[in-house]
Amino acid sequence: MDSRSVEELSCALHSEKLDFFCLEDKQPACLMCRDSQKHDNHTFRPISEVVPSYKKELSSALKSSRMKLKHSEDVKEKCVETVQHIKSQAERTERQIKQEFKKLHRFLRDEEEATINALREEEEQKNQMMKEKLEEMDRHISDLSHTIQDMEEMMTANDICFLKKFPVPLERDQSSEPDPQMASGSLIHVPHYLGNLPFRVWKKMQDIVQNTPVILDPNTAHPCLILSDDLTRVKQGGNKQLLPDNPERFDLFPCVLGSEGFNSGTHCWDVEVKKSSRWRLGITTASNQRKGSDFFNTDVWSVQYGLVEESGFLVKQKLDRVRVDLDYDRGMVSFSDPVSNTYLHSITTTFNDTVYPFFYSFFPLRILSSDSQ
């Protein structure tokens, strides 16, 4: 044993062996320390007796720290995966944004082209009208010119010749067509093209775009669910997707929530269920637990079809569509069949939290646009 080790095992004050442990000061002590005035009324235990209990305590703390380290490493790994997923989300979303705007740009270009073509057609029509009018004017001017020429010649003729021709030019002048006038409507109808142009294009645009009252939130979807690009359809895929296990995501039930929560007012949405033989839909609270098996135990108001779970109202007949009507302020949610206009079920409660539409299915579901309702 080297001198340093001997010093560590000896009392710094008395150079005696450290055989005891002061429970009050939490320090090793020698025999002389134990009997000194400094440690009056202190409790001592032999070091050999104290060390095992402290090592046991330290071992427990070490185990806990190792578990915390493992958890921190797992969370870090998930954060790294989430960073990659965020990048993938951003790239995919950017592509879809560009595709949607490309459609809108194409529509606007087509509308611009159609409007300009209509303007060119009217320009051609009005030019043709003026061309015909100019030809008419040329004929009229030519006739008048000949008449004037004849009259001028008569004015210089001798009296006999004048009297022989006199009635003819005068009669020709009196029987000629009325003086020509500019035709009405000869100019381009500018307001037809420029009047409320943005509004009229926007109205037309409504024919190619749809408004869906509920949009699905992919960040809540169970990894086995596949959502459409427009986030209005959901179906179950063959394998689980490699997605971040974020707190918002379901990890047991094949569920997905709507992206917008409601805390006031009335709301309505139709769900196409004809391709699904097992489904459940309704509303749930923002705070309801999405991890594990507790989701359906509280704060779920729904109807279901083809499932064996006892909770939730069971629809017995196969339907094509289900309509969900929510009146948050009155605490009421009702379900109906919009195809046959048949009432299914209603629930009255008091909402104390923001509620979200939820969808549970093993087979395709589609949220219909407002135009389809």
Give pLDDT tens digits for 271-310. Answer: 999 999 999 999 999 999 999 999 998 899 999 998 876 6
As a whole number of angstroms, the distance between CA 45 and CA 282 comes to 66
218-372 in CATH: which number? 2.60.120.920
Query: Given this model, what pLDDT does residue 184 score?
Result: 80
Q: Report the percentage of the chain scoring pLDDT > 90.
A: 57
Q: Which residues of 125-155 are buried (b: 16+ CB within 10 A; e: fewer)?
A: eeeeeeeeeeeeeeeeeeeeeebeeeeeebe
**Mean pLDDT for the chain?**
88
Query: Given this model, what pLDDT does residue 116 score?
Result: 96
Q: Which of 24-33, 34-43, 45-54, 64-73 has the highest mean pLDDT?
A: 64-73
As a whole number of angstroms, the distance between CA 30 and CA 19 comes to 6
Query: Given this model, what pLDDT does residue 171 score?
Result: 56
Query: Given this model, what pLDDT does residue 178 score?
Result: 62
Question: Lowest-pLDDT range, 7-16, 39-48, 286-295?
Answer: 7-16
Residue 324: Cβ within 10 Å count: 24
User: Which residues have C-beta within 8 Å of that of residue 25, sequence separation ≥ 6?
Assistant: 39, 42
pLDDT at 106 over 90: yes
3-42 in CATH: which number? 3.30.160.60
Query: Given this model, what pLDDT does residue 362 score?
Result: 83
Per-residue pLDDT band at 3 (split at 50, 70, 90)? very low
Per-residue pLDDT band at 167 (split at 50, 70, 90)? low
pLDDT at 19 over 90: no
More confident residue, 81 or 208: 81
More confident residue, 239 or 301: 301
Per-residue pLDDT band at 102 (split at 50, 70, 90)? very high
Query: Given this model, what pLDDT does residue 283 score?
Result: 97
Query: Given this model, what pLDDT does residue 2 score?
Result: 47
As a whole number of angstroms, the distance between CA 366 and CA 353 comes to 26
Reported as a single tens digit per residue, the pLDDT across 178-236 is 666 777 888 999 999 999 999 999 999 888 888 899 999 999 999 999 999 999 999 99
pLDDT at 333 over 90: yes
